[in-house]
Structure 1
Amino acid sequence: MKPAILIHGPTASGKTALAIEVAKRLGGEVINADSMQVYRDLQVISARPTEEEMDGVQHHLFGHVDAAERYSTGEWLEEARATIRKMELSGKRAILVGGTGLYLLALTQGLSNIPPVPEDVRADVRMIAETEGAEGLRERLAPVDAETAERLGTGDRQRLARAYEVYLATGRPITDFQKDRQPPVLQDGEWIGFALTPPRAKLYQKIDRRFEGMLMQGAMEEARKLIERNLDPELPAMKAHGMPWLAAFARGEITAEFAAENAKRDTRRYAKRQFTWIGRQFPFWPRIPSPELEERMRVILALYREIDRPVEADYS
């Protein structure tokens, strides 16, 4: 198997262009590892690559899921597994790219076997999260899963809600399932990961400019079409960066300027969390701080050729 290349980094850090260039130079194909770019309804809002940007490179798992679905990490992992194996048989190199660190973590370290949570339990926990906030969730979780409650504190309402709904659905703390992981799709030696870490000030400026460009490219029209479908606002696609603010503007609740500024702010905050994720979850991945495409390619090609070099037999 030709070692796969994994490219991770904060939003707007140039992952798409880099992955396409790597695929062109190494005879590879690109597999999406971004939880929003899977949705066909979010072409502009998720910054999904266009046919022109793909430049003839084969892309997989982009825009193939309807916004009404709750696409899970487990579903992505199985589709990624099948795609990687097909590419292996055809002699293609897999280039996995995206900002969803959990996808890449599951790919290389395995996925916890957490049972599905019934929708009524999800709804109950959502109500608790809305009325009691992260602190309320933590207080409820602490007696039944002290380890997770202590680790998360009150800084991650989404994960607190996830841990609490798993307990309500199964009667067991989420840590029990996290300790029982499926074997990873990619074993050690079958992949190499790179983390893009451009200067934050410049990245935040790029995030602002990109959102303004999205508005010109039809982000508002995309948001309106989703609103017209009357989808559950708790669906992942409805929580895409900028989507809640665009929806509020479309409903006449806020001004366009207020929507844009808050969408930019939330995206910058998300990028900051992605930097933190890289530091905690991928501490040994080579960092590429340069924003320049050629410099990034130089680093990737040098390290990739090192691990892809055939091992010479020892006949002594």
Structure 2
Amino acid sequence: MSRASGKIQSVLIAGPTASGKSRLALELAEACDGVVVNADSMQVYAGLAILSAQPTEADRAAAEHRLYGHVDPATNYNVGAWARDAGEVLADLRRAGRIAIVCGGTGLYFRALLGGIDDMPEIPPAIRAAWRQRLLDTGPEDLHAQLLQRDPEAAGRIRPGDSQRVLRALEIVETSGGPLAALQRGRGLPLLDAARSLQILLTPPRAVLRANIAQRFDMMLAEGALEEARVFAAIPGALAGTAGKAIGVAELGRYLAGQCSLDEARERAVIRSRQYAKRQDTWFRHQFDAQWQRLEAVSPIHRSDLIAAVKVG
């Protein structure tokens, strides 16, 4: 009997940054001949292997990984694009009878997996180019004013300074001809069968997470994050897009420009990462239901139980 015909078809592992998701996913993939599928919005981008903590060459040799580093950093990738890519990967794995181990920290990606995101329209290139040119010409405040006229409800939810979300909302409103809320009813088609999945949310104590974040950024620096930031900044369009918001890019860029010391850049990146982890934790606590098994730490017993559940399933 293939795995796909058994009870468990997928394992979902979510949690804040530096919570140990990737390590657990790799261990399960090795034990169960699974494939690790990325569900992190920054790990999709090429050029950020170190700063976004993508799998190492050793990780990739130990188990197959999909949807990591496959997007041009000048491209503004979004949850709709990820859902389309992930749907194709998950369908491939089902046909092959292999376990999908979906791992990441982007809550909307998991919502899309389970059917909570509606299918957004493809944005015509001309509309996308026009709004991006207007942002360059007139600035984010003008774009937010335009959104306020066209879709007051969406404008009320999006900060004027959040230019990427304002842009996305304007693109969708113009493409669809209606308000954003009409397309956000949470009635999308699920990409997998939740009843045949294990859903795990890692929730380390805050003190542990803070220490992990600092230690991981120091490791990134030791592994070449500074040179990666230098090379990334030279990629045409990379800093202007979503990928340019990856933690460490701006901070190390300021050091490279002689605007601060390396210690200051490191401290700013660690603080920003801790703030991001706090927001992730809050989102998961409020959005994930009781189907998610919450673990502060993954003990050897937990790990054995998870492996057994997948294998028996």
Q: Flag whether TM exceeds 0.5 (same fold).
A: yes
Alignment of 1:62-211 (within 5 A): 62-109=68-115, 110-116=117-123, 118-125=128-135, 130-131=140-141, 137=144, 141-142=147-148, 144-150=150-156, 152=157, 154=159, 157=162, 159-160=165-166, 162-168=168-174, 170-179=176-185, 181-211=187-217
Alpha-carbon distance in structure 2 between the residues aligned to 1:91 and 1:153: 42
Q: 1:279 to 1:29 in 2, by over 3 A?
A: same
Q: Tell me the TM-score normalised to structure 1 length.
A: 0.83
| Matching residue of 1:60 | 66
Alpha-carbon distance in structure 2 between the residues aligned to 1:21 and 1:180: 33
Residue 223 (structure 1) shift: 0.7
2:274 counterpart letter in structure 1? R
3-state SS of paired residue (1:49): coil
Alignment of 1:256-295 (within 5 A): 256-295=262-301
Alpha-carbon distance in structure 2 between the residues aligned to 1:20 and 1:85: 21
Runs of at least 5 residues in structure 2 that lack an aligned partner in the other structure: none
Q: Deviations over 1:163-217 (max 9, x none)?
A: 3453355442111112385412113423232111111121012111111111111
Q: 1:172 to 1:4 in 2, by over 3 A?
A: same
Q: 1:301 to 1:272 in 2, by over 3 A?
A: same
Runs of at least 5 residues in structure 1 that lack an aligned partner in the other structure: 309-316
Contact 1:69-1:235 within 8 A present in 2 as well? yes
Residue 142 (structure 1) shift: 5.0
Residue 111 (structure 1) shift: 3.5
Q: 1:251 to 1:168 in 2, by over 3 A?
A: farther
Residue 15 (structure 1) shift: 0.5
| Matching residue of 1:245 | 251
Residue 124 (structure 1) shift: 3.1
Contact 1:113-1:181 within 8 A present in 2 as well? no
1:121 counterpart letter in structure 2? W
Alpha-carbon distance in structure 2 between the residues aligned to 1:194 and 1:126: 42
Residue 284 (structure 1) shift: 2.5
Alpha-carbon distance in structure 2 between the residues aligned to 1:242 and 1:140: 32
Q: Deviations over 1:293-313 (max 9, x none)?
A: 52542563576579x3xxxxx
| Matching residue of 2:12 | 6
Alpha-carbon distance in structure 2 between the residues aligned to 1:275 and 1:187: 25
Residue 50 (structure 1) shift: 0.9
Residue 146 (structure 1) shift: 4.3
Contact 1:108-1:186 within 8 A present in 2 as well? yes
Q: Tell me the TM-score normalised to structure 2 length.
A: 0.84
Q: Deviations over 1:205-240 (max 9, x none)?
A: 211111111111100100111122342522122111
Following TM superposition, where does structure 1 have runs of at least 4 consecutive aligned residues deviating by more than 6 angstroms? 126-129
Sequence identity percentage: 35
Residue 131 (structure 1) shift: 4.9
